[in-house]
Amino acid sequence: MPRRRLEDRIQDLVRQAVTAREGEELTEIIHRLRAELREHTARLRKLAADKLAKPKTRRAPVVVKITTVTPDIAVADAELARTKHEPNRARLDQI
């Protein structure tokens, strides 16, 4: 017989315990119910420990810089780029 979900087995045992008469039958049901509850508690503890042990992975925020390039800024950037490389060109001419 396949095993059912733990929660279902616990609910069935509780129903049986409520309707059982005093004596050995009730003692056996309570014994099985306590075992199932211990298993349930162990599962919950494991879930909690796994959840706490896992480091949360966070992604770095993506920063997007939007710049509008106007013709005068484009000319200024081109001039700056040209002047940065001119000393290198002068050295190359000397070689």
Cα dist from 8 to 30, 33, 65, 73, 79, whole Å: 16, 11, 56, 72, 77
Q: Is residue 14 part of a domain?
A: yes
Identify whether 34 is part of a domain.
Answer: yes
82 occurs within a structural domain: no
Assigned domain for 78 exists: no
pLDDT digit of tens for each residue in the chain (95 aa)?
446 799 999 999 999 999 988 889 999 999 999 999 999 999 999 999 988 887 777 777 777 666 666 666 666 666 666 666 555 555 555 55
The Cα–Cα gap between 65 and 60 comes to 15
- Full residue range of the structural domain in which residue 15 is found: 6-53
Predicted TM-score (pTM) of the model is 0.52
Hunting for tokens 């509850």 — which residue is that? 37
Instruction: Tally the domains of the chain.
Output: 1
How far is residue 69's CA from residue 41's CA, in Å, rounded to a whole number? Answer: 63
> Do the domain assignments include residue 25?
yes
CA distance 87 to 93: 10
State the Cα–Cα distance between residues 57 and 25, nearest whole angstrom. Answer: 51
